[in-house]
Amino acid sequence: MKYFSQFLEDKFIYEMIVNEKLNISKFVIEMGACDGLFFSNSRLFIEQGWEALLIEPNKTYYNKLLINNEKYKKVNTLNVAISNKTGKRYLLPKKSMDNFQLTDIDTGIECEAITFKEMLNRGNATNKEIGIISIDVEGLDTEVLIQCLNETKPQIIIIEGHSIEAREEQIRILIDDYYFASIFVFNTIWLRKDIAKTFISDKNKLG
């Protein structure tokens, strides 16, 4: 089996589902999907026949995303950014080559921004149980997480947090309804408590 995630997050989740015999909905959403292959947290599950909604605001990456998912009929895609501000926004390149920051500054790459709720609507996912959601939106992760939880409660959440402050805020938001499952450098993985009421991971510790 081929894995795609940057730090094998997909391998951990796949094995957690299988080993813990978790009843997970076979629907994955990935925000920040890039070309659908590079460091993808969803590709493993797509190749297992899951339904998917892939979000990528960068038009260049999005065009590659379409090509890389041509044969997967259960994959839906949107060329948008997710934000609390809607309308025209811009992707401003960061110092690191493949990272972008969403901004109102009229420079960089123009893109459309929509809310999480509108993303579900356009992706025909409003009433679907989300098995896995991956949130990697370059600095707006916590903001998008809040929007997400106001609309739905995914069974498994992968979320990026580049600062201690961001990660602490994410823990505060998630800790009542989710078990902490693991940490992979920038990303933490969370499992909704009603899916595995006795789930405990001692493989990784927050800290």
pLDDT of residue 98: 55
* Contact between residue 68 and residue 46 where contact means Cβ atoms under 8 Å apart: no
C-alpha–C-alpha distance, residues 173 and 17, integer Å: 23
- 129 Cβ contact list (under 8 Å, min separation 6): 25, 27, 155
pLDDT of residue 206: 46
Judged against a pLDDT cut of 70, whether residue 122 lies above it is answered with yes
92 vs 42, higher pLDDT? 42
C-alpha–C-alpha distance, residues 88 and 207, integer Å: 38
Q: Which fold has domain 9-83+118-192?
A: Rossmann fold (3.40.50)
* Contact between residue 83 and residue 102 where contact means Cβ atoms under 8 Å apart: yes
Domain extents for the chain? 9-83+118-192
- Detail the DSSP E strand segments found in the chain: 27-31, 51-55, 75-78, 81-82, 87-93, 100-103, 109-114, 132-135, 156-160, 178-184, 187-192
Place of tokens 């972008």: 100
pLDDT of residue 207: 41
Judged against a pLDDT cut of 60, whether residue 203 lies above it is answered with no
pLDDT of residue 106: 73
The pTM of this model reads 0.90
Judged against a pLDDT cut of 60, whether residue 61 lies above it is answered with yes
Each residue of 92-108: pLDDT tens digit? 766 554 566 777 667 67
pLDDT of residue 94: 61
